[in-house]
Copies of this chain bind each other. A is one copy, B any other.
Amino acid sequence: MRRLAALALVPLIAAAEAPTPAKPQTPGEILAAAPQSDWRPIAADDLLVVEFKDGKKVVIQLAPEFAPVHVANIKALAKAGYWQGAALYRVHDNYVAQWGNNETEKPLPAGVVAQPPAEYFRALAGLDVTPLGSPDPYEPLVGYAAGWAVAVDTSDSTINLAHCYGSVGVGRNLSPDTGMGGELYAVIGQGPRALDRVIANVGRVVGGIENLSSLPRGTEALGFYKERSMDVPIASVRLASAMPEGERPKFEYLDEKSGSFAAWLKVKKNRRDDFYIHPAGGVDLCNATVPVRAAG
């Protein structure tokens, strides 16, 4: 929001004149200072690497803890080369980018469950939720569990992954179809939380989201591309674990139980660094999703 790129040169004259109080940190500064021990590696078997024919890549972290059958399907589809010849064919502004074998009925590889259960939420039991600590329009409790931004329905002790920017879900037809995982979308706009218990949310983009969000928008209803020539062809979809060690992307996320995470969340709610005048006093879950970074 800087008016001039030269902003960084604004001198902090006061610093030379008196002992200064601790300068308020930015969220980015807290992450940069977080000890390596606060970061958790993401398993190579949970990273799905989508490479388009133009060489651009998108890396997705899958969430087997939340949608085990759908995630197992996606892994089996990747291993079987199901997305050979597939393409991205839908970009709906402020909503989703979607890819797969649209309008092509391909036989399902062995081991793929054709009609998975509705893994739109799961039992809370076994998960330890760190509360966000700000009100949420959708559920009585939101926060973090197992490295993910989550929403909890406290009335029946169920929990779901929250649909935020970068979330990856499974396209489907009308209920009771849940989609088998062959058509996937990523959120490229305001978190569409109304989808939270409506669709299987199976993960999040951890690298290359800009290769989806900057694509031309489709002009047909729901953002479908009008002409097949607009589709973005996919070269390969692989698990990182199936790639040669030297080519694997590596990512890590900040442990929500760490002190760094708590400090980061506090500052996300109340920015006091130079640019900010009015500390907000709260934050939306989708403005404070779990920090993820390239590792190594």
The distance in angstroms between the C-alpha atoms of A85 and B247, with both chains bound, is 44
The distance in angstroms between the C-alpha atoms of A196 and B276, with both chains bound, is 10
B-binding segment of A64-72, A76-84, A108-116, A177-185: A177-185
A172 to chain B: closest residue by CB: B3
Q: Please indicate the chain B residues that have their CB under 8 angstroms from the CB of A171 in the complex.
A: 1-3
> Does residue A75 face the partner (Cβ distance < 8 Å to B)?
no
The distance in angstroms between the C-alpha atoms of A224 and B7, with both chains bound, is 13
A221 to chain B: closest residue by CB: B8
Residues 178-196 of A contacting B (Cβ, < 8 Å): 179, 182-183, 185, 189-196
**B215 touching A190, Cβ below 8 Å:** no
Q: Please indicate the chain B residues that have their CB under 8 angstroms from the CB of A285 in the complex.
A: 137
Q: Please indicate the chain B residues that have their CB under 8 angstroms from the CB of A4 in the complex.
A: 102-103, 173
> Does residue A22 face the partner (Cβ distance < 8 Å to B)?
no
The A interface is mostly helix, strand or loop, or mixed, namely: loop
A212 to chain B: closest residue by CB: B93
> Does residue A210 face the partner (Cβ distance < 8 Å to B)?
yes
A118 to chain B: closest residue by CB: B277
Per-position binary interface string of chain A over residues 203-221, scored 1 when its CB falls under 8 Å from any chain B CB and 0 otherwise:
0000001100111110000
Q: Please indicate the chain B residues that have their CB under 8 angstroms from the CB of A286 in the complex.
A: 190
Give the number of chain A interface residues (Cβ < 8 Å). Answer: 73
**B287 touching A190, Cβ below 8 Å:** yes
Q: Pick the most buried of A10, A138, A175, A191: most chain B CB atoms within 10 A of its CB.
A: A138
The distance in angstroms between the C-alpha atoms of A290 and B39, with both chains bound, is 41
The distance in angstroms between the C-alpha atoms of A138 and B10, with both chains bound, is 30
> Does residue A60 face the partner (Cβ distance < 8 Å to B)?
no
Q: How far is the CB of A294 from chain B (nearest CB, A)?
A: 15
* Residues A197 and B278 in contact in the complex (CB < 8 Å), given A137-B134, A222-B2: yes
Further 14 A-B residue pairs, CB within 8 A, beyond A2-B171, A165-B189 = A1-B171, A1-B195, A3-B177, A93-B214, A138-B284, A165-B190, A174-B275, A190-B287, A191-B284, A196-B280, A197-B277, A210-B216, A214-B215, A214-B216
A-B contact pairs, 10 of them (CB 8 A): A3-B171, A4-B173, A134-B137, A138-B281, A165-B190, A175-B277, A194-B280, A214-B215, A214-B216, A284-B284
Please name the 7 residue pairs, one residue from A and one from B, whose CB atoms are nearest each other, closest first: A197-B278, A135-B135, A134-B137, A210-B217, A137-B282, A3-B171, A194-B280
